[in-house]
Structure 1
Amino acid sequence: METTSAKQDRIGARVPHDVYETLCRAAELTGATVNQFLVQSALKEAHAVIEREDVIRLSPSGWNWLLDLVENPPEPNAKLKAAISRYRKTMRDDADTPFNWEP
């Protein structure tokens, strides 16, 4: 029977001795090795950072404001009309390029 193993990479870090001692103590208190503790802690922080960047949080009033804008968008202002006009002109000018596509 053949087993497959997941590819693993190595991460190394040099830290001051007092930092190392603190990490060792924390790892011991959690029942993990220093390596396990570092990986678990770093992964937890990595997930938190990614969530902060990927998730938009709104208050209930902010959510209601956003839904109202989606359901009742305001009339386009002059800058938006100019941008739409430039976009349409660009699309017409690029009509004979091989990258022209219709959404």
Structure 2
Amino acid sequence: MPSQPFRSARLEARISPDALSMVKRAAEIQGRSVSDFVVTAAQEAAQRTIEETAIIRLSMEDQRALVEAILNPPEPSEALRKAADAYKRLVIESR
């Protein structure tokens, strides 16, 4: 059995009696303490949330538009040319 990481922070939460009953039952089924079950479940949910924000999901139409823009980029607009010139003056030439 892996050693438990050092725990120094405390988390408190209010929970309905029905939800607590369900959590206790699930923890019992897994042979874990309620505290361990809740911490593990929270960590897994947090990891999923973080991973989901790092993944960009595109429809097939959006995928095609992205590939088309990469393979055949449009000519830069006047605003983009001005922004590139300003960047060169401010960042590159000031080094």
TM-score, normalised with respect to structure 2: 0.75
Structure 1 match to 2:40: 40
Alpha-carbon distance in structure 2 between the residues aligned to 1:7 and 1:54: 27
Structure 1 unaligned spans of 5+: 96-103
Match of 2:6 in 1: 8
Runs of 4+ in structure 1 off by over 3 angstroms are 19-22
CA distance in 1, matches of 2:15, 2:43: 22
Identity %: 29
Higher relative contact order (CA 8 A, sep 6+): 2
Deviation at 1:6, TM superposition (A): 7.2
Q: 1:99 aligns to what?
A: none
Q: RMSD value over aligned CA atoms? A: 2.3
**What are the residue-to-residue correspondences of 1:45-56 with 2, within 5 Å?**
45-56=45-56
What is the TM-score with the length of structure 1 in the denominator? 0.70
* C-alpha displacement of 1:46: 0.7
Paired position in structure 1 for 2:64 = 64
| Gap regions ≥5 residues in structure 2 | none
Whether 2:1 is the aligned partner of 1:31: answer no
2:79 aligned with 1:79:
yes
CA deviation string 1:34-64 (max 9, x = no partner): 0221122112211111012111111222111
